[in-house]
Amino acid sequence: MLTYLQPKWRLWTVGLTVLCWLLPVSVMAQDGETAVATTAVIQRLNVQVMPEFDDSRVLVIVQGRLAADSANLPQTITVRVPQDAQINQMAVVNMETGAPTAQPYDTAPDPADGRWLLATYTVDSAHFFYEYYFNPLSAGAEKRFTFTLSTLHPITELVLEVQQPRTAEDFVTEPTSDSSQVDSYGLTMYQFTAGTLPAGGETTVSIQYTKTDTTPSVPRQQAPETTAATNNTLLPTWVFGLLAAVAVSTFAGFAWYRTRLPKPASIIRTHYCPQCGTPQRDDAHYCHACGAAL
């Protein structure tokens, strides 16, 4: 089972012409269907769903590995995120340093399904990473929502993880988890092995709990840093406004940016198996995926 990650985020945009030049990926509506022309196959995908982690919303962290070697890279992938999602970054992971490198990406509403926003970017590493917030939670103490993963690429091995907020009570998931463990923050992570998922497939997990306070599990100012080269996490709002103005003047041709929003801290693993690349716990001595010594 995959376990936990460590924090950070970014965003950018890229022209569709460049994407098509790197690899012919197209997203289009055809008789009510979304078509993705691509050779990208996801060998393994780990999805962490963390309600009220360092924010009142739900943080979703996705880390995957393409079924591709260096000869088959770069490749372009298109992922579905909720229509109201705030994307923090789309990135690739340097397996030597464990650091994420933010990549330009393009977004567009899914013409086939109004629930989704399509985010497309090109990766030059088989290991990719992205994260976003969305807000399905009600204002009251009784929390209930369903997380849906909808994929446009075939997934060979899918693992879902759901984190229980620190002060949540009567925490229930449907289906029930295959296993659980306590992460480095002292929070319980419930794990679900979903197996394979074809292109166009979906899988869901329903989550409900009671939480009478509005305090997140981890105070944002205490969220650990990563090796990603960004230092504006806790800058005041006016700084983001200034950055937004610079971005608009420099990238006037780009249509999508969110630099007006303050950016919270992000989470990314920094410990990987040297044999298969699977993320590991910091205290692990053997890879839980392939058994290699760490």
Question: Model-level pTM?
Answer: 0.67
Architecture of domain 16-230: Sandwich (2.60)
- Residue 1, pLDDT score: 38
Domain boundaries, the chain: 16-230, 231-263
Q: How far apart are CA 213 and CA 55, in angstroms?
A: 13
Q: How far apart are CA 152 and CA 199, in angstroms?
A: 5
Reduced 3-state DSSP string for 112-160: CCCCEEEEEEEECCCEEEEEEEECCCCCCCEEEEEEEEECCCCEEEEEE
Strands 179-182 and 142-150: unpaired
Is 222 or 175 the better-scoring residue by pLDDT? Answer: 175
**276: which residues sit within 8 A by CB, 6+ positions away?**
287, 289, 290, 292
Q: What is the mean pLDDT of residues 123-131?
A: 96
- Residue 96, pLDDT score: 83
Could you tell me the maximum CA-CA distance found in the chain, to the nearest angstrom?
53
- Position 70 pLDDT exceeds 50: yes
64-68, 114-118, 189-193, 233-237: least confidently modelled range: 233-237
- Position 74 pLDDT exceeds 80: yes
Name the band, by pLDDT with cuts 50, 70 and 90, for residue 95.
confident
